[in-house]
Amino acid sequence: MRALAILATLSAGPALASGSTWPADGVYCPSGTDVPAIVVEGRGIGIDLLDCPRARLSGGRLRADRCYANGGSTVPYDTDLAILPGGNLLHDGVKFRRRARGPCP
């Protein structure tokens, strides 16, 4: 029974609260500054104009062995990213709010 509870928790997907292991899918728009949005889809993330299909988030750090830049070049990536209470993101001192759909205003 305990194994079923653990399995259900793992398969439920990311939550929208502090302590989450991955942000919810969506477009996260920056608050009060002109920087690119963050886009989360599955385990992939678009951040700082890079597309990182298999990133990991742990201890306030987002890491990816391979991200794709414009022009097709690939680079490893390591940056700060935190999930705030309520599901917003904090990256490079900027708060990003999730939009249900559509581009950032």
Q: Phi, psi (5° rounding) for residue 11?
A: -85, -5
User: Residues 43-48: what's their mean pLDDT?
Assistant: 96
Average pLDDT on 28-48 reads 94
Whether pLDDT at 2 is above 50: no
Q: What confidence score (pLDDT) does residue 44 get?
A: 96
Rounded to an integer, the average pLDDT of 40-57 is 96
- Listed by start position, the domains of the chain span 22-99
CA distances from 41 to 2, 3, 7, 49, 58 (A): 30, 28, 22, 15, 18
Confidence at residue 21, expressed as pLDDT on a 0 to 100 scale: 87
pTM over cut 0.85: no
| Architecture of the domain made up of 22-99 | Beta Barrel (2.40)
Whole-number Å distance between alpha carbons of 26 and 96: 11
pLDDT at 93: 96
